Amino acid sequence: MRCSLPWTVLGRVTAWRNASSRDCGDQAGFSNSSYVCPDIRYCRCLPTGRYCGRQPGSGAVIRSDEAKEAREDGGEAAYRRLRADVLLGRLAPGRKLGLDGLRSIYDAGVGTLREALNRLATEGLVVAEGQRGFTVAPVSAEDFREIADLRLLLERHAIRLSFAAGDLDWEGRVVGAHHKLAALERKLLAGEAADTALWKRYDREFHHALIEACGSGVLLETYAAAYDRYLRYQMVAVVFRGAVAADQHAALLGCALARDAARAGEVLEAHIAGCVDQVLRSRALAPIAFEARSVPATPPARRQGGAR
């Protein structure tokens, strides 16, 4: 079963909060921070992620082949949840990922979890240690600089292509993405509490909108992988640079509408360099322990607010 909607790792399904008529009623303890595809066709008994075997709202039992397909899709769900928890810092850098402990957290079998962790290892988000299992990839100043340089290289190139090819609809998507990001940044600047995951989701959507007209699927895929590794450092450090970052986003919007790729590249370079400098100067990475730790019996806490 494939989702027909674009998937973003930071996507949320807030509609489930009031979805009692669309599921089996087993929503005890459900938090709207669960990462579930909004195009899912069958009831998923949240927060465990298990399928109840009934279609939303109908009470009808689905066919056995569809139930099998739904169970198989649980492997993808476990991968996405693990990936989101690594990227958002809920699974701390250097943490030991014991399969037995993960089973109770992600409600998946050992084989499913091992496959998901091996996928994350190929993305550089998890380290496979042979017979010793898996750990969340550590963080370091040197690695952050290298990832930031790669992001700048890819995004700058994609901006040139996108600005040259983008049409009026593309401009509308860029404006819309910036509108959401700017609205949340205004709340942060006013000192209001904000969801850091939602903030970074809007940030990601805006930067993606800038380059989505580049015409290269390979470039977009490569950029997304680099951006997500860059995002992990931002979430670990939880850094909001205030009006400087907001002004740079507004400048990038202006460059897009003016099709000024050269100026956009300069703004982007200052934007990324400023983030790296602030993270390193604040020593936000220094307190993080890199020693392996056992996974606790309870799921990682969902981070709310705390943007600085």
d(CA 179, CA 48): 34
Average pLDDT over residues 5-33: 34
Residue 108 has phi, psi (to 5 degrees) of -140, 155
The 3-state DSSP class for residue 36 equals coil
pLDDT in tens, 87-145: 988 898 989 998 888 988 888 889 999 999 999 999 999 999 877 789 999 999 999 99
The CATH H-level (homologous superfamily) assignment of domain 141-281 is GntR ligand-binding domain-like (1.20.120.530)
d(CA 22, CA 215): 39
Instruction: Write down the pLDDT at residue 287.
Output: 57
Tokens, residue 306: 């705390």
Residue 39 has pLDDT above 80, yes or no: no
Give 42's pLDDT tier (boundaries 50, 70, 90): very low
Residue 19 has pLDDT above 60, yes or no: no
**3.40.50.970, 1.10.1040.10, 3.40.50.150, 1.10.10.10: which CATH number matches 74-138+288-308?**
1.10.10.10
Residue 149 has pLDDT above 90, yes or no: yes
Average pLDDT over residues 207-214: 98
Instruction: Write down the pLDDT at residue 282.
Output: 80
**Higher-pLDDT residue of 42, 2:** 2
pLDDT in tens, 214-268: 999 999 999 999 999 999 998 888 777 889 999 999 999 999 999 999 999 999 9
Instruction: Write down the pLDDT at residue 25.
Output: 34
Average pLDDT over residues 171-178: 98
DSSP assignments along 249-264, one per residue? HHHHHHHHHHT-HHHH
Instruction: Write down the pLDDT at residue 191.
Output: 85
> What is the domain partition of the chain in residue ranges?
1-72, 74-138+288-308, 141-281
Instruction: Write down the pLDDT at residue 286.
Output: 66
DSSP assignments along 61-78, one per residue? BPPHHHHHHHHHTHHHHH
**Higher-pLDDT residue of 162, 88:** 162
Residue 299 has pLDDT above 50, yes or no: no
**Across all residues in the chain, what is the average pLDDT?**
76
Give the residue ranges of DSSP H helices in the chain: 64-72, 74-87, 99-106, 110-122, 141-165, 168-189, 196-211, 217-237, 243-258, 261-281
Instruction: Write down the pLDDT at residue 197.
Output: 83
Average pLDDT over residues 154-174: 98
DSSP assignments along 87-99, one per residue? HTTSS-TT-EE-H
Tokens, residue 152: 């700048």
Give 288's pLDDT tier (boundaries 50, 70, 90): low
